Structure 1
Amino acid sequence: MTQTNRRWTWMVYMAGDNGKVFEQLKGRKQLFVPMEEQGYQDIQEMEAVGSTDEVAILAQFDTLSDREHTYRIYIRPNSEERVIENIPEQNTGDPRSLRDFIVWGIENYPAEHYAVILWNHGTGWNEDDIYAFARNRGVQLRASDDEVRSLSRNTRLSSAFFLSSIVEVMQLDDGESRAIAFDDSSLDFLDNAKLQQAFREAQEQTGQKVSLIGMDACLMSMVEVAYQLRANANYMVGSQEVEPLSGWPYTAILGSLTSDSGMTPEGLARLIVQEYGRYYEEDSRGSLPHITQSATNLTVVEKLAEAVGRLASVLRQLLAEKDFDVENALSYAKRKVVRFRDKDCVDLYDFLKILRDEYAGNNTELTAVLDEVINLMTLEIEPKLVVANVTSGLRLSRVKGLSIYSPFKGYSKFYDRSDFASCGWGELIRFHNSVHGA
């Protein structure tokens, strides 16, 4: 325990500088559904619970309307007036902004455990520069009327909380990259490496490791993202599919946390998933939305990557030998697997289950490693990989909590930047999709 009796400090990094309308020669362009109003609603949801002696609730809110300040908020207990600190306008796509917020929270509100929630639009591991059109007028994007935390469905480029080098991706138009924490005013966002950097530097400065990383954003519950963050926290909570604009039910989650502040990091991870599923089930009015939310034990992700690496090696060797049974089963799995709003993202379990069921050959090495990965995803063994998973909608009933990159064709020029690609999954995709070179 720390010197205080505080058990948890809950920090929400709110990248709400979205919805800007960009003037273009061919008309006005808006990348995102505006998030600022929803941000104020989510802060009100947190205020409905408020901090206690055992749980501190903090938020850093960057907005589109205030171009001079970003707000750091301590949400007071018992509906008291919030405590707001105005800091200079932040670029939420700069890892230093996230790092400094985490350090501020840990140093000013020390606790036994820390949860950091990334609040914004998101798209998994991909790292395309969605703001290139603002510098390069040749790329045109359209606004979205979808009430979800994602880019326009008509947008050719993908997005994410996560971007490593804007300059390098400015000229690309391949629709194959991911990120999170978008900032329309700064034309920037965080890529996987910068997200990892922010958490690593915060831990180096404070000596404290975050217990839970949450993604109140779309498409972030991916093997690639979990593997990137495996050393930065113990648990990750996020959605495989796009999230509704209303996002997480903060009142329900924080109400339960403050009532039982002694819960473990795994307990909180399970709680978030449970309350998310319950909220949308009760709010569905007879028509269940297509939602997903899952909690991943990051300490087991290394084991998963090793098994997937062995699987990729066996599959690639058999494909090189022109094994018809493997080619047939792999192609069938790619066609029938559950894909999400981003069609390059597939459910890992569903993909391997179809592959296992369709494989008619007798290679025991392949079947053994397929069974190993499938069991990691589903068996009640300790420690579990996916500790909680909730879905709704018939199409999503087969998904088990973690997505993986598996495009129908082609190969992202950025995939090899992800730590996970080096396990051999990237080489398998290139080989099967007949993409030569890195």
Structure 2
Amino acid sequence: MTHNERHWTVMVYMAGDNGKVFEQLQGKRLMAPMEAQGYQDIAEMEAVGSTPEVAVLVQFDTLSDREHTYRIYIRPSEEPRQIENIPEQNMGDPRSLRDFIVWGIENYPAENYAVILWNHGTGWKEDDIYAFARSRGVEIQASQDEVRSLTRNHQRLSRAFFLSSITEVLQLEDEDSRAIAFDDSSLDFLDNAKLQQAFQEAEAITGKKVSLICMDACLMGMVEVAYQLRANANYMVASQEVEPITGYPYTAILQNLTAYPEMTSEMLAKLIVQEYGRYYEGESRGSVTQITQSATNLKVVEKLAEALGRLADVLHQLLTDEDIYAENALYNAQRKAVRFKDSDFVDLYDFLKVLRDRYAGESNVLTQVISEVMDLMIVEVEPQLILANVTSGVRFKRVKGLSIYSPVRGYCPFYEKSEFAGYGWGQLIRFHNHVDEE
């Protein structure tokens, strides 16, 4: 097999070491168990299998096997499963993701590479949920919800733990922890900086850039996440809302890809979004009321960030000048735009639309920059930022593909770790929410 013959290598990074019961936390879990769903998703992949043109690879870490992590080449459908046991991996360590990508590229070279990050996901937020446990020598339990989210009914972790005393990190005004690839046994997770590091190092080692990054996880379809990964791939597929526990329809995706392996990375990104929508909206799945999935062109994210930076500056200045029309418009946008399971996350397009519609002042600069950002979000407009977007449920009809951090009150200091915060968005939130500057 030569590089030219194989069009795609798809690597699925399955962090399934979740759902551990911690006796020190009164027999609670931090996260819903994911291992059983991992085996189900592997079976979905095996229903199609790899072909000479498409290689499908999995790195699967489980809670039940404490000695090994599995690397699997999904064989052609008629051949037996091929599993390589490697030492137990900390899937929250960027080196583990880096090494998996390098292994995939070196052993299964192709014209294009896609990496799917499979696990619980929680947007940009990077509060360390495991710090509390490590500080007490605890090895850490949460929700049984049938979604890939972190805690039951979005409770504050202090309540979920049933503890009266908790570390400073967990007492912050923002709720729950946010990141991806949580590993209960290693008490670690991949925050967005670690994700960026893993992809950067893999590219430096192999000289190959991943074409497509997909998040089979919750709440990762955010401006902040896309901006962090803008240089690591060309396209990103993610959900703004929590995902059902069943996640991606791997059989349908791979059936399409293997039938037409010459598809570009843009086409594959769109395909995943379309098949996700079809799977959950179709008669075979019944009615799933609230799903979102979108494909973002990471090559346009820098332009989006610059426009949002100008918007933040203009709004900040108007608020400083006590423009009551700007204050009223922002107040309405904060409270009327569509929000998600994490109520600090708001749909960017809907937020801007309410902001523009409710502004009755005379600042042409404000209305122009709002329209500039909104135009980027429209699928039909070039350059395309949002390549594809599916939603279901009346509540999400106005959702356009990317959310952004915009709490109605308070401010999470961890937001300063986000590279996007440097565009002034965090400063605007602090000012509007009357959070004292430190």
TM-score, scaled to structure 1: 0.94
Once the two structures are superposed, the pairs formed by residues 248-327 of structure 1 within 5 Å of their partners are: 248-283=248-283, 286-327=286-327
C-alpha displacement at 1:436, in angstroms? 2.3
SS at match of 1:24: helix
Once the two structures are superposed, the pairs formed by residues 34-433 of structure 1 within 5 Å of their partners are: 34-136=33-135, 143-154=142-153, 155-157=155-157, 171-174=169-172, 175=174, 177-283=177-283, 286-378=286-378, 380-433=380-433
Letter in 1 for 2:43: Q
Letter in 1 for 2:171: D
Would you say the 8 A contact 2:118–2:215 is kept in 1? yes
Pair 1:138–1:430, CA change in 2 (3 A): farther
Pair 1:379–1:65, CA change in 2 (3 A): closer
C-alpha displacement at 1:285, in angstroms? 5.7
C-alpha displacement at 1:10, in angstroms? 0.3
Aligned equivalents of 1:287, 1:281: Cα separation in 2: 6
SS at match of 2:313: helix
Aligned equivalents of 1:137, 1:206: Cα separation in 2: 40
C-alpha displacement at 1:173, in angstroms? 1.9
Aligned equivalents of 1:198, 1:38: Cα separation in 2: 25
SS at match of 2:31: coil
Aligned equivalents of 2:75, 2:6: Cα separation in 1: 14
Q: What 5-or-longer segments of structure 1 have no aligned partner?
A: 159-168
Letter in 2 for 1:336: K
Q: Which deviates further from its counterpart, 384-393 or 128-137?
A: 128-137
C-alpha displacement at 1:146, in angstroms? 1.1
Would you say the 8 A contact 1:128–1:157 is kept in 2? no
Would you say the 8 A contact 1:149–1:245 is kept in 2? yes
Partner of 2:434: 434
C-alpha displacement at 1:151, in angstroms? 1.3
Q: Which deviates further from its counterpart, 381-390 or 200-209?
A: 381-390
Q: Note the alpha carbon deviations across 1:50-96, whole angstroms, 9 max, x for none.
A: 00000000000000000000000001113311111100000000000
Pair 1:326–1:264, CA change in 2 (3 A): same
C-alpha displacement at 1:283, in angstroms? 5.0
Q: Note the alpha carbon deviations across 1:15-55, whole angstroms, 9 max, x for none.
A: 00001000126x21111111000000000000000000000
Aligned equivalents of 2:145, 2:188: Cα separation in 1: 22
Would you say the 8 A contact 1:10–1:57 is kept in 2? yes
Partner of 1:9: 9
Q: Note the alpha carbon deviations across 1:288-317, whole angstroms, 9 max, x for none.
A: 320000000000000000000000000000
Pair 1:149–1:366, CA change in 2 (3 A): same
Letter in 1 for 2:342: D
Report sequence identity in percent.
Answer: 74
C-alpha displacement at 1:287, in angstroms? 2.8
Letter in 2 for 1:306: E
Would you say the 8 A contact 1:22–1:134 is kept in 2? no
Would you say the 8 A contact 2:32–2:141 is kept in 1? no
C-alpha displacement at 1:157, in angstroms? 4.0
Would you say the 8 A contact 1:69–1:86 is kept in 2? yes
Pairs aligned (count): 426
C-alpha displacement at 1:379, in angstroms? 5.2
Pair 1:77–1:221, CA change in 2 (3 A): same
Q: Note the alpha carbon deviations across 1:246-291, whole angstroms, 9 max, x for none.
A: 0000000000000000000000000000000000012576533200
Pair 1:370–1:56, CA change in 2 (3 A): same
C-alpha displacement at 1:170, in angstroms? 6.5
Partner of 1:33: 32
C-alpha displacement at 1:144, in angstroms? 1.7
C-alpha displacement at 1:402, in angstroms? 0.1
Aligned equivalents of 2:362, 2:141: Cα separation in 1: 50
Q: What 5-or-longer segments of structure 2 have no aligned partner?
A: 159-166
Partner of 2:161: none
Detail structure 1 runs of 4+ shifted over 3 Å in the superposition: 1-4, 135-139, 169-172, 283-286
Q: Note the alpha carbon deviations across 1:315-363, whole angstroms, 9 max, x for none.
A: 0000000000000010011011111000000000000000000001111
Aligned equivalents of 1:286, 1:103: Cα separation in 2: 40
TM-score, scaled to structure 2: 0.94
Aligned equivalents of 1:253, 1:285: Cα separation in 2: 16
Q: Note the alpha carbon deviations across 1:110-153, whole angstroms, 9 max, x for none.
A: 000000000000000000111233235699x9632310001122
Partner of 1:163: none
Letter in 2 for 1:150: S
Letter in 2 for 1:18: N
SS at match of 2:407: coil
Would you say the 8 A contact 1:350–1:399 is kept in 2? yes
Would you say the 8 A contact 1:18–1:33 is kept in 2? yes
Q: Which deviates further from its counterpart, 201-210 or 377-386?
A: 377-386
Letter in 2 for 1:399: V
Q: Which deviates further from its counterpart, 76-85 or 46-55?
A: 76-85
Aligned equivalents of 2:188, 2:24: Cα separation in 1: 19
Would you say the 8 A contact 1:116–1:213 is kept in 2? yes
C-alpha displacement at 1:171, in angstroms? 4.3
Q: Note the alpha carbon deviations across 1:153-173, whole angstroms, 9 max, x for none.
A: 254149xxxxxxxxxx87442
Q: Note the alpha carbon deviations across 1:350-402, whole angstroms, 9 max, x for none.
A: 00000000001111000100100011101522330000000000001100000
Aligned equivalents of 2:386, 2:398: Cα separation in 1: 14
Partner of 2:163: none
Would you say the 8 A contact 1:129–1:170 is kept in 2? no
